[in-house]
Homo-oligomer: A and B are copies of this chain.
Amino acid sequence: METPLKVYKGLEGIYVLDSSLSFIDTENGKLYYVGYDVEELVARSNYEEVAYLLLNHKLPTMSEFSAFLGKLRDEMRLGEEELEVVRFVSKRSGGMDALAAYFIMTQKDAVGEVSPMDSAVRAVGKAGSVLGNVIRVQRGDDTLNPDPSLGIAGNLVYLITSEKPQPYQVEFLDDILILHAEHGVPASTFGSVVTASTLSNVYSSIVTGIMTLKGPLHGGAAEAAYQQFLEIGDPDRVESWLERALSERRRIMGFGHRVYKIYDPRAKVVKAMAAKASEIAGGHVKNLYEIALRLEEAALAKLAPKGLFPNLDFWTPMVYTAVGIPPNYFTAVFAVSRIVGWVAHLLEYWKDNRLIRPLHNYVGPPVGQKYVPIEARH
């Protein structure tokens, strides 16, 4: 009799790599990028500087940052050929798919003479300009030339709204981008690293990240939380809705996280942003926020004892909405931000690459089955 094999399904609790990029302090509910508290980065830094930090494992000096920003701004521009790709893919695919299709069809930008770091910076620069134009084309507008001087967050707001962005929009989106930039090895990042481990290129690994982040158990959660708030519709209906949802054993979207068994530190920050967004934007955003607030209170009473707390995705819908991002693009904005996490991980992994090649436990019929010709099968 053979010892049964241990199968690590879901890879829960399995450490797959060393990384300097983030530390998730699940005991104290803290998240650090390269040693810096993310709450402090949100308060004092900006997405571009955080991108530098993740790609270079240190904060830049003035001259380093200015050189980095110069490169990034060059990459934020889109040429006519790139816009043609954007127009074609936008007609056929949702936001996430269009973004992925863009990276597949511009693969020449990631191979040959281009260093992995250069194509990483290129991807970080292009992503927002591509997504902004995808959103434009899909709602029937013409493409618009990016304005790199606005920075990554400001440019994305500009492309979506066709107007010079309000400072609060830029600040909200910039903070959202910082908070989504990196989080260890969730499925999308780990998938990117699996792709990278075959020495496939930076863009291919990003495509894997996007295909994986798309899933409703992963990046799709913020949009699902938004739809849930819409379904509830009114703060006064929260309690009855929750009672029914729990009795039907439905998942409360935006609650629970594989890693955090306490309050997600990012959610704490975004909750405060959502409160501010509700005040500034009022109306629909305020209504969503009030629903969320009341749902949090009611749900916590039932779910906190099970270790389920609101995560990042519970609070972002209000902020995205205040910024002007339609719900079907929430996940794509997440992708625009997380690209830097994906590429930072693969640059790090390649320093000591090891092909990822696990094993499976065979549970099928005994081997040596007799092949019976089809005429004789029944």
Q: Which residues does A use to contact B, with CB under 8 Å?
A: 5-23, 25, 30, 32, 34-37, 40-41, 44-45, 49, 57, 59-62, 65, 85, 88-89, 92-94, 97, 100-101, 104-108, 184-188, 190-191, 194-201, 204-205, 207-208, 211-220, 258-259, 354-369, 371-375, 377-378
Contacts and interface: CB of A to CB of B under 8 A. Distances in A.
Contact of A101 (B5, B36, B101, B367): B101
Nearest to A11: B358
Nearest to A41: B371
B19 A15 contact: no
Given A197-B187, A198-B217, A363-B20, A92 B101 contact: no
A34 B191 contact: no
Contact of A105 (B18, B30, B101): B101
A359 to B, nearest CB: 5
B355 A34 contact: no
Contact of A194 (B5, B45, B194, B198): B194
A359 B13 contact: yes
Given A105-B89, A198-B217, A198-B218, A190 B61 contact: no
Contacts of A22: 362, 364
Given A37-B367, A104-B93, A359-B14, A194 B199 contact: no
Contacts of A59: 371-372, 374, 377
Contacts of A211: 195, 200, 204-205, 207-208, 211
Contacts of A362: 18-20, 22-23
Contact of A88 (B88, B100, B375): B88
